[in-house]
Amino acid sequence: MKVFKFGGASVNNVERIQNLAGIVKLFEKEPLVIIISAMGKTTNGLEKVAESFFAGNKEEALRLFDVVKQHHLTISKYLLVTKFNECLAQLTDFFTEVEWLLHDKPVREFDYYYDQVVCIGELLSTCIISHYLNEAGIINEWMDVRDLIRTDNTFRDANIDWTITSERITMLNNHSNIFVTQGFIGCTDDNESTTLGREGSDYTAAVFANILNAESLSIWKDVEGVMNADPKLFPDAQLISELSFTEVIEMAYYGAQVIHPKTIKPLQNKNIPLHVKCFLDPSLPGTVIHKKNSKDLPPIIVIKQNQALLHLNSQDFSFVGEEPMSKLYQLFSKHKVRPNLIQTGAINVQVCLDYRADKIDNLAAEASTLFDVQLEKELNLLTIRHYNVTVFEELTKGKNIVLTQRTKETVQVLYSE
């Protein structure tokens, strides 16, 4: 059994979906689970639908959703002939699922509505692709992952119930040879859709690989493999052919977008290798990630934009000790935020976080009961693993450095332009 995961870039137009079919064709005689993300920028479009709906602008939400509908209908018309009507019927059910919600009024928290709307992107893409594969002679069974992955009701960042999920996914061994299903989403006991966190499709694929004791997991991307930096920002980025699970966890922790932070643990637990492959040229070797230690790695560069720095100062000049720090971490948990960097002094704490206004502003307001608080926005966080002086000086030249934190392996710099 192999597990394949295809991201949004690999299915964002007719040609790339046809290319996906060509890759699957190479493996159609062996058991295969295919996890597919939403097409292209669909998730971004659906986020705007959810935001408009929650703001009370129903007409705008419906208009934005119609753009998503028409895009998927157009793709299906170009791809399908004999399976078009069957596909259209299934797509219509999904469209209706969202439109019923959009005609209502929001009475619950935003994150709930976000998940009910955004999850449709994966259902639409897999519906079309499954029908296309069948029409192309690659017989497969489409599965609604919400019938397989059971989660709690932590909307936008749901936790998987491994016991129930394992029971359901294990049953796939008694079905078809090839399955097509969705990444990123799950379902609660109350049949409400949930999402596993942004870019959670990688995690979904790792969950399937773990439970099915897969031979390997392959994540197909639009790059050669894992690079030492984002090639869009650094044209001379280098391919890393081999990485350890530990190194990739570190990269993910610091914000590298190649692999979702939660993806590695299910694979590491069962020693399942992860291949990062290029869907534009499947013949390229890509990157293999396994338990062997990585050696002679180049500097690995990660830049996180839209950062905020909380300056927290003791209100009475007492030391920032165990009790205030414990309360601060309770606030992080309550507001569901994860610090990217923390630096402490005798009477102050500085915390760098991804800036999301709905969370960070509320966090800052509540932290003001414990500290004097200042919030600094519009910052960038540079992380360099396996850094050297030359690379550090080159990447920080001309930057207004706000904060620096350094260990033997890693340096982090928070700066403004």
pLDDT value, residue 80: 98
pLDDT value, residue 357: 87
pLDDT value, residue 319: 84
- Report, in angstroms and rounded to the nearest whole number, the Rg of the chain calculated over CA atoms: 23
- Would you say the CATH fold of 300-416 matches that of 2-221? no
List Cβ neighbours of 249 (8 Å cut-off, separation of 6 or more). Answer: 261, 264, 265
pLDDT at 358 over 90: no
Residue 380 and residue 395: Cα distance in Å, rounded?
12
**Is residue 154 within 8 Å of residue 71, measured between CB atoms?**
no
Determine whether 375 is exposed, middle or buried from the number of CB atoms within 10 Å of its CB (0-12, 13-18, 19+).
middle
pLDDT at 174 over 70: no
Of 123, 132, 126, 130, the C-alpha closest to 98 is 123
pLDDT at 46 over 80: yes
pLDDT at 286 over 90: yes
Angle between helices 120-135 and 110-118 (to 10 degrees): 10
Confidence label for 206 from pLDDT (cuts 50, 70 and 90): very high
pLDDT value, residue 208: 98
Type of residue found at 204 = T
DSSP of 216-252, one letter per residue? Answer: EEEEEESSSSEESS-TTT-TT--EE-EEEHHHHHHHH
Confidence label for 260 from pLDDT (cuts 50, 70 and 90): confident
pLDDT value, residue 53: 98
pLDDT at 129 over 70: yes
Q: Sketch the domain layout of the chain as residue ranges.
A: 2-221, 300-416
DSSP bridge pairs for 186: 194
pLDDT value, residue 153: 96
Write the pLDDT tens digit of every residue in 101-123: 999 999 999 999 999 999 999 99
Tell me the mean pLDDT in the region 381-399: 95
The CATH number for 300-416, chosen from 3.30.2130.10, 3.90.930.12, 3.10.20.340, 3.40.50.300, is 3.30.2130.10
Type of residue found at 211 = I
pLDDT value, residue 175: 67
Least confident of 35-49, 251-265, 334-348: 251-265
pLDDT at 252 over 70: yes
pLDDT value, residue 255: 86
Tokens of 408: 């033997």
pLDDT at 279 over 90: yes
Average pLDDT of every residue of the chain:
94
Alpha helices of 136-218 — where are they, by DSSP H? Answer: 162-170, 201-211
Of 409, 396, 414, 247, the C-alpha closest to 343 is 414
Least confident of 35-44, 168-177, 213-222: 168-177
| Per CATH, domain 2-221 is 3.40.430.10 | no
219 backbone dihedrals φ, ψ, rounded to 5°: -105, 120
pLDDT at 405 over 80: yes
97 three-class SS? helix
Tell me the mean pLDDT in the region 26-38: 95
Residue 122 and residue 358: Cα distance in Å, rounded?
25
Percent of the chain surpassing pLDDT 90: 86
Confidence label for 198 from pLDDT (cuts 50, 70 and 90): low
